[in-house]
Structure 1
Amino acid sequence: MRSVWRLPALFLLGGAAAATGLALRGDPVTAAALLVLFVLLAAVHAPLIFPGAVSSAEARRRSAADGGPVVYWRPGCTYCLRLRLRLGRDATRLHWVNIWQDPAGAAAVRAATGGDETVPTVVVADRAHVNPDPAWVRRQLPART
């Protein structure tokens, strides 16, 4: 199993185990609610929510070609999820780098943020912006052709 699927899988397994325990104790309503909560947590942390992650080098190359911003993110980050959801369909026009999969991406974030791995870090025109407002990011997108 790829490491990006570990957290969602743990949510699913943990939720299933807890819900089963509650159901066996005679509380099916709470069990169902708990299972739904854990399934939602797994979905939110699954890599499917984010457009296909690329390497840092590939993201920089694509950004140079089309002018799209590069977003450094990691699974489980609520601010990254907020950015992704607020961008909606426009999120596919950015280049997403998962810093847990790409050591060069993690190093780029540390260089931009003074040594920590604060995400989302959005790079526009070679300038890093830590946790920018999604509306600002949308304005940085190149015009559609």
Structure 2
Amino acid sequence: MTRAWKLPILLLLCGSVVAAGLIAGGDVGSAVAPLLVFLVLAGVNSPLIFPRPVGALEAQRRSAVDGRPVVFWRSGCKYCLRLRIRLRIRLGRDARRLHWVDIWRDPAGAAAVRAANDGDETVPTVFVAGRAHVDPDPAWVREQLPPSV
């Protein structure tokens, strides 16, 4: 769980160091911009932007019942972030209808991704009807969602 927060914390620390350097140099006004940029980067790369993840076994069980895709992701992955943002833009709150599994929080999820990708933890990996699709197009993922009730 702490591994998911390492990059956001590092970004916050870097932003603080840059801002402190500018403040120490007497340029208080220009310290705000880099601090805000690092804050936004930390937020985007944190687990906060993704819905609450479920375990791989629970996600696979739910998917078998409701037919929704299972998305295996990890924080700090720019391709996962791209998929998540594009789904959120097009689907809004319906992006939460997908089953999201954080492979850094769930060892079974990491094992499922490695099994599907010849031993690599390549994400995002989306399972639809038991078949793995690595880094699929967000439009294709949207098409795989069953109609909402």
TM-score (norm 2): 0.91
Partner of residue 111, structure 1 = 115
**Matches for 1:1-145 after TM superposition, within 5 Å:** 2-88=2-88, 89=92, 90-145=94-149
AA of the residue aligned to 1:66: D
- Cα deviation for residue 29 of structure 1 reads 4.3
- 1:61-107, CA deviations, whole angstroms, 9 ceiling, x for partnerless residues? 11111111000000000110010010112320100100011111111
Give the SS at the match of 2:76: coil
- 1:10-66, CA deviations, whole angstroms, 9 ceiling, x for partnerless residues? 211221122111111123344222111110111111111101111100110111111
Query: What are structure 2's unaligned runs of at least 5 residues?
Result: none
Q: Percent identity?
A: 64
What RMSD over aligned residues (CA atoms) do the two structures have, in Å?
1.4
In 1, are the aligned partners of 2:4 and 2:74 still within 8 Å (CA)? no
Deviant stretches of 4+, over 4 Å: none
AA of the residue aligned to 1:133: D
TM-score (norm 1): 0.94
AA of the residue aligned to 1:9: I
AA of the residue aligned to 1:85: I
CA distance in 2, matches of 1:2, 1:130: 25
In 1, are the aligned partners of 2:72 and 2:125 still within 8 Å (CA)? yes
Query: What are structure 1's unaligned runs of at least 5 residues?
Result: none
